[in-house]
Amino acid sequence: MSNEPVEAQQKPLEVQQKKELLAKGEKTVPARYYVPSTDIFETDDALVLVMEVPGVDRKNVEVRLENDELRIEARIDFANYDGMEPLYTEYNVGHFARTFTLPQVIDQSNIGALLNDGVLTLTLKKVQKAQPRKIEIK
């Protein structure tokens, strides 16, 4: 073993336990929902949400925006498991749901979504007026 700093991408990956969604809101069915792991970062003109939703097809993603609440629901197609008998399990499967309260700076009519390899990327453009400006004191 050398003492040189290891590249961040080369570090051994550990299992992240899936987090169950506890505040189910209006759900009436007993099935569990999970909270997708999410990275959120801000660029000059947008807020970007990157969330992991493995097993979700593009047509089963629902992104809803009401007032300032962005609600993402991603449903897995568990019919794929039909006829399969579990022998050994290390994780559970379920739909994903998560809600974020958006800052006022988001242009709510300009939200882009992309799903690739089980990763959902939402690009929330900032409104023009949120650009930094100087305020003059009279």
Partner 1 sequence: MAVVLTDPFDALFHFQQALDQLRQSDWLDASPSGQGAFPPLNVFRKGDDVVIITEVPGIRKSDLRIEAKGNTIRIAGTKSVANEGKASVHRVERRGGSFDRAINLPIQINADGIKAECRDGILALFVPRAEHDKPRAITIS
Positions touching partner 1 (CB under 8 A) are 8-16, 29-32, 37-44, 47-48, 50, 52-57, 78-79, 81-95, 115, 117-119
Who's near 119: CB < 8 A, 6+ residues apart?
A: 50, 51, 52, 53
Instruction: Show the tokens assigned to 130.
Output: 């949120």
Which residue number, 65 or 119, has a Cβ lying nearer to partner 1? 119
Which residue number, 6 or 110, has a Cβ lying nearer to partner 1? 6
- Among 124, 109, 122, residue whose Cα is nearest residue 61: 122
| Shortest distance in whole angstroms from residue 109 CB to partner 1 | 22
| Shortest distance in whole angstroms from residue 112 CB to partner 1 | 16
